[in-house]
Amino acid sequence: MPSTPGELRRLAAAGGPAKYHDANAARGKLFARQRIDILVDEGSFVEDGQLANALADGLPADGVVTGSATVDGRPVCLMANDSTVKAGSWGARTVEKIIRIIEKACAAGVPMIYLVDSAGARITDQVQLFPGRRGAGKIFATQVRASGVIPQVCALFGPSAAGGAYIPAFCDLVVMVEGNASMYLGSDRMVEMVTGERTTLEEMGGARMHTTVSGVGHLLVSDEPAALGAVRQYLSYFPSRCDGPLPATDPRPAGKGDIRALVPDSERVAFDMRRVVRALLDEDSFFEIHPGWARELTVGLGRLDGRPVGVVANNSMVRGGVLFVDSADKAAHFIQLCDAFGLPLVFLADVPGFMVGTAVERQGIIRHGAKMITAVAEATVPKACVVIRKAYGAGLYAMAGPGFDPDVTLALPTAKIAVMGAEAAVNAVHAHRIAAVADPDERAALVDRLRREYERDIDLVRLAADLVIDAIVEPEELRGELIARLALAAGRERPRYPRRHGVTPV
């Protein structure tokens, strides 16, 4: 056993046996300390607890690297599981190191970054690490208390197993490397033993599944450098703590694209709202979150005139832009994230409303929709509602319509605001009258007249005259209008409500 501190530090920095380093390299996985070197500014990392469990055999740093550094010149705290040490599993000192670094991030008011690659708790050490006041549960309790106070970001390079899967779950953003990253509460062997189901870790908890089906993962990337780059980019939009200033950059010109040409006049013609978002924001500034999950709604970060904003936009290219259970949850999480850290919200509405039918009612579309509407109502950051083409029914409410105190409600000339579209409304109100007309031509003429009457009733100019909307804006004017309106709203005081917290819909 080495006896000098210098020799112990050298062994701790080397990680586990060479065969595990080689096995990881064969799978395209980097060593934990290499990941840190790529992520942080050169020479800025200061390590804590390097000699944890130094007197034990084969447990360098007890399988986790923790410390502080700078990323793009801004201080952060971080932890990185070392999968060459007992597959990155947790012992008592591992847990204590993780708790301490989260506490340090909270005390310093800096972002916390989790570089996860862990097989979970060491069952042989469960009495020491599992049940106590400074046991594994304290990690999650500390993460929850840090939520909304400091940014918490996870890059997942390998497994995040059993209870350890909750570290990513409590983070604001989870980036997963395809082919290697996974999250699961029970291994495939455990699942077969308990339920009889035969599956694989990839099917049950792989990166692609979690970023397209479950929504637990936010971004799917091809390799580890891409994951670390995504973490850096994501943090560039956020303050270091909830009450800190937003990190502004030099203004850039608008992204490529002609919004007038991108938005079809007919609401029956689908278009990709993401192209409108990119044309509206500063060039190359759009960072989409959850691009593979609930794609009928697009959310992401960007900049307007150099200032960070969050964007919530309906995408008619997928499911007609109708809101479903997952898209409501996706929106609620993102709106709360932006509100927690002071990012203004821009809603781009082209929404027929929430989905109807037996299937979605059984899934709880009402309570999921209520979560989204609750998030909109509770958000105290500046909000801009832009009706791009249509905002029908409760879809208007979910997209921060006038009843939810947006700082401004704008509409393009293509916009329509109503309880429902003309076709559905005419059918709902006049179905018996229409059915009573035997002649097909007469029936078609009646339907056409009733639709025109309905559309006159919801005329956009009338809504502007009644002050339902603040302005009808030409597509070429929209970016400038938003920049000016949000600049004014940035100076107002955010209201505080005299309560502990609301009760979130189930």
CA neighbor of 391 nearest in space, from 349, 359, 430, 431: 349
Q: What is the mean pLDDT of residues 121-129?
A: 83
Of 19-28, 40-49, 176-185, 435-444, minimum mean pLDDT range: 435-444
Q: How far apart are CA 93 and CA 61, in angstroms?
A: 9
Q: Work out the burial of residue 95: count CB atoms within 10 Å of its CB; fewer than 13 is exposed, 13-18 middle, 19 or more buried.
A: buried
| 121, pLDDT greater than 70 | yes
CA neighbor of 91 nearest in space, from 142, 145, 55: 55
Res 128: pLDDT: 82
**310-322 residue pLDDT tens:** 999 999 999 999 9
One fold for 5-236 and 259-420+459-490? yes
**188-200 residue pLDDT tens:** 888 888 988 898 8
Domain residue limits, the chain: 5-236, 259-420+459-490, 422-457
Could you give the 3-state DSSP secondary structure of residue 383?
Answer: strand
Q: How many beta carbons lie within 10 A of that of residue 488, not counting itself?
A: 11
Amino acid at 220: L
Of 63-77, 224-238, 407-421, minimum mean pLDDT range: 407-421
Q: Which residues are bridge partners to 46 per DSSP?
A: 68
| 206, pLDDT greater than 90 | yes
* Alpha-carbon torsion (143, 212, 119, 54), positive or negative: negative
Whole-model pTM: value is 0.94
Of 28-32, 159-163, 344-348, 413-417, minimum mean pLDDT range: 159-163
Res 496: pLDDT: 82
Of 10-14, 185-189, 306-310, minimum mean pLDDT range: 185-189
For tokens 């005419």, the residue is 426
Res 428: pLDDT: 78
Of 5-9, 64-68, 292-296, minimum mean pLDDT range: 5-9
Q: Confirm if 152 and 175 have CB atoms less than 8 A apart.
A: no
pLDDT band at 183 (very low <50, low <70, confident <90, very high): very high
Q: What is the mean pLDDT of residues 377-382?
A: 96
Q: How far apart are CA 54 and CA 4, in angstroms?
A: 11
- Which CATH number applies to 5-236: 3.90.226.10, 3.40.50.720, 3.30.465.10, 3.50.50.60? 3.90.226.10
| 163, pLDDT greater than 80 | no
pLDDT band at 2 (very low <50, low <70, confident <90, very high): low
Res 39: pLDDT: 98
Res 81: pLDDT: 97
**256-282 residue pLDDT tens:** 999 999 999 888 899 999 999 999 999
Q: How far apart are CA 176 and CA 372, in angstroms?
A: 25
pLDDT band at 246 (very low <50, low <70, confident <90, very high): very high
Per the model's pLDDT, the better-predicted residue between 493 and 70 turns out to be 70
**76 backbone dihedrals φ, ψ, rounded to 5°:** -145, 160
Q: What percent of the chain has pLDDT over 70?
A: 99
**330-343 residue pLDDT tens:** 999 999 999 999 99
For domain 259-420+459-490, the CATH superfamily is: 2-enoyl-CoA Hydratase; Chain A, domain 1 (3.90.226.10)
For tokens 């919530």, the residue is 312
pLDDT band at 129 (very low <50, low <70, confident <90, very high): confident
Res 117: pLDDT: 96
Buried b (16+ CB within 10 A) or exposed e, 130-147: beeeebbbbbbebbeebb
| Average pLDDT value over all residues in the chain | 94
Q: Tell me how many degrees the CA angle 196-220-323 measures, rounded to the nearest 5.
A: 85
pLDDT band at 1 (very low <50, low <70, confident <90, very high): low
Res 491: pLDDT: 87
Res 104: pLDDT: 98
Of 55-64, 105-114, 395-404, minimum mean pLDDT range: 55-64
**293-304 residue pLDDT tens:** 999 999 999 999
pLDDT band at 157 (very low <50, low <70, confident <90, very high): very high
Of 69-83, 119-133, 391-405, 484-498, minimum mean pLDDT range: 119-133
The beta-strand segments (E) located in 72-202 are: 74-81, 112-118, 152-161, 173-177, 182-184
Res 141: pLDDT: 96
